[in-house]
Amino acid sequence: MKFDKIDITKSKKENRLIRKTWFIELLLDYTLYLIFIGVLPFLSGTYFFERIETGEKMFIPSLLFGVTLLISGFLIFTIVNLDKLNRINGILKEENRQIIKLLANKFNWTIQINNDRIIVLTIPWNWLSSDWGRKITMIYDKRDILINITSYGMNNLKSPFHWFANRKLEKKFIENFEAEIKKRHANSA
């Protein structure tokens, strides 16, 4: 997992993680994404158009081509949204920090970076994981928290294939965070 420097001010403004990284790295990453997106439709499209030219049955090639286009469309969606920050309504900044630390301990997540502007957590890898690491980045924005969960594949490439798992983890965090806020409000009342 990479721990690139994050431009916090730009990230808050654009509502997505803006990492300070080398242009060559970005070029290589997006080249691999282009290959992921393009190879299946290219192969199935070649098969589809070959069948059109020979006049053979078209059901299977049409189905295959349509499914690969759908998969590629989904991959484009996930790649575009890899760095998106989602806003969580919090309370006071210091209480938000305490709740995040409490949840990190509860779920056995490791705090990698922790300061008054950002916190980065990593989730321990296990034998059932299909990724090579997962990172939760949270930026404090006044009373709110901006959260992004990123899974990584081999060679520190952000993985577009774990979108559903990342959203499920995000939902789990938000539910526990909001429950902790309610519990603190109930205790203070």
Q: Which long-range contacts (CB under 8 A, 24 or more apart) does 51-59 make?
A: none
Residue 2 reports pLDDT greater than 60? no
pTM of the model: 0.79
Contact 119, 100 (CB under 8 A): yes
Dig out the tokens for 9 from the structure: 């001010």
Q: For 15-58, where are the alpha helices, taking DSSP H only?
A: 23-54
Contact 126, 134 (CB under 8 A): no
pLDDT tens-digit series, residues 100-152: 999 999 988 988 888 888 999 988 776 666 666 788 999 998 889 999 988 88
pLDDT tens-digit series, residues 32-50: 888 888 888 899 989 888 8
Band (89; pLDDT cuts 50, 70, 90): confident
Tell the CATH topology of 85-188. Answer: TATA-Binding Protein (3.30.310)
Alpha-carbon distances, residue 153 vs 2, 52, 91, 111, 159 (angstroms): 11, 37, 34, 20, 5
